[in-house]
Amino acid sequence: MQRQGWRRHQISIGIGVFAIVIFLLGWIEMARPLGFEFSDVTGGIVGFDTLIRVGLLTIVVVGLNMLMGHAGQISLGQAGFYAIGAYVSAIMTTRAASRGINVLFPGVIREEWWWWPWLMILAGMVVTGGIAYLIGRPVLRLKGHYLAMGTLGVGLIIFVLFREGGTFTGASDGVGSVPRLCIGSFEMWPRERYYFLVWAVALAVMWLSLNIVNSRVGRGLRAIEGSELAAQTMGVDIEKFKLQVFVLSTVYASIAGSLYAHYQTLVNPTPFGFVGSLDLVIMAALGGLASIWGAPFGVGIVYVIKEVLRARLQTLLRGAGGEHEIIIFGLLLVLIMIFMPQGLSYAAGKAFGWLRNLSRRERKNPIDRLTEKAT
């Protein structure tokens, strides 16, 4: 009974423990105990800005884990949906009035209209989900490499549309002067406040996804990932389930894109191309495709490796440049996937299980140990 009770509440307990860790990291940056900042804890290699970006991409990667790890549907265009959320928020809070779209107020958003950017985040979710629904119906009929190429094409089309959008999207320069998010007169800035907002959304997304994975829908998705034919034979509506998880993953990406726009205050096409989509897939694979908990691990390890190489490669390898960083980064990724093919979260779970079994053995008395060896 105790074990069943633990299983019933382990999602909430896990999210709670993770939230405490997130809170402590934010508290270090805000309170600065003994004069220490977060960057001092990491030796100046990883800054507080990196933690915010890890939170943003965790939201996107959780959606990819749902789509690729649990439903078995490959997506190489997720950065495009990330871009839609960012551009909807950026355009509708800066250029909408001058383009005749937003007639509620002219020019800059006044203080009493603080809720407008939040409404545009919801609008971005609806727009992104609608586009994903229309695209997903034909694209998700493809399988394997064809599906990968189809989603890659969708991502590239979205990227090119924003890059060549002229004055409306800002072309290559993008959209600047995106306002900060506020609640009344309370502004979600400086960045310490925004850090808690981003990670609150990330934790909510993880909690929702974990509950979905452990529900009847999650079992249906795993059945589709195992064998679509077998799932269909068992009565699973595979087209409906695939489309739903695809739309959900793009809505997650839209939320992250909107939060990115209000954090960066500048949105341009550069982060949303093919390389951006590839980075997201790498993060999902490193963390563990079949694990929602793997999302923050995967994003975090990619950022940490990049920051360490950027900060320390010059001292280790004299005359090293950007091309050397790419080579060493690629080699490290290959090594991680060779020795931990199921991702960091799976490896961490195995290590935790091994330590737990070891502690149990040490607590047993000598007679029990001899009995186990005899049997």
Instruction: Please write the tens of the pLDDT for every residue from 3-50.
Output: 545 555 788 888 999 999 999 999 998 888 877 788 887 777 788 999
* Residue 354 forms part of a structural domain: no
DSSP H or E segment with residue 186: strand 186-187
What CATH number corresponds to the domain at position 135?
1.10.3470
- Residue 243 near residue 67 (C-beta atoms within 8 A): no
Q: Which residue has the higher pLDDT, 343 or 350?
A: 343
* Residue 351 forms part of a structural domain: no
* Residue 349 forms part of a structural domain: no
Q: Which residue has the higher pLDDT, 318 or 51?
A: 51
Alpha helices in 175-269 (DSSP H): 191-213, 216-226, 228-233, 238-264
From the centroid of its chain, how far is CA 194? 16
Average pLDDT over residues 109-134: 90
* Residue 304 forms part of a structural domain: yes
DSSP H or E segment with residue 319: none
Note the pLDDT of residue 110: 60
Note the pLDDT of residue 369: 54
Q: Which two tokens stand for residue 184?
A: 């009344």
pLDDT at 54 over 70: yes
Note the pLDDT of residue 3: 52
Instruction: Please write the tens of the pLDDT for every residue from 214-266.
Output: 999 999 999 999 899 899 988 899 999 999 999 999 999 999 999 999 999 99
Note the pLDDT of residue 367: 54
The DSSP letter of residue 70 is I
Q: Which of 12-16, 101-105, 353-357 has the highest mean pLDDT?
A: 12-16
- Residue 85 near residue 258 (C-beta atoms within 8 A): yes
Kindly report the number of other CB atoms within 10 A of residue 281's CB atom. 20
* Residue 160 forms part of a structural domain: yes
* Residue 50 forms part of a structural domain: yes
- Residue 67 near residue 76 (C-beta atoms within 8 A): no
At 105, the pLDDT band (50, 70, 90 cuts) reads very low
Q: Which two tokens stand for residue 250?
A: 């793009």
* Residue 101 forms part of a structural domain: yes
- Spatial separation of the C-alpha atoms in residues 368 and 357, rounded to whole Å: 14
* Residue 198 forms part of a structural domain: yes
Instruction: Please write the tens of the pLDDT for every residue from 293-336.
Output: 999 999 999 999 988 888 777 777 776 776 777 888 888 888 88
Domains: count for the chain: 1
- Residue 56 near residue 198 (C-beta atoms within 8 A): yes
- Spatial separation of the C-alpha atoms in residues 369 and 365, rounded to whole Å: 7
Note the pLDDT of residue 237: 92
Note the pLDDT of residue 327: 85
- Residue 87 structural domain: 2-342
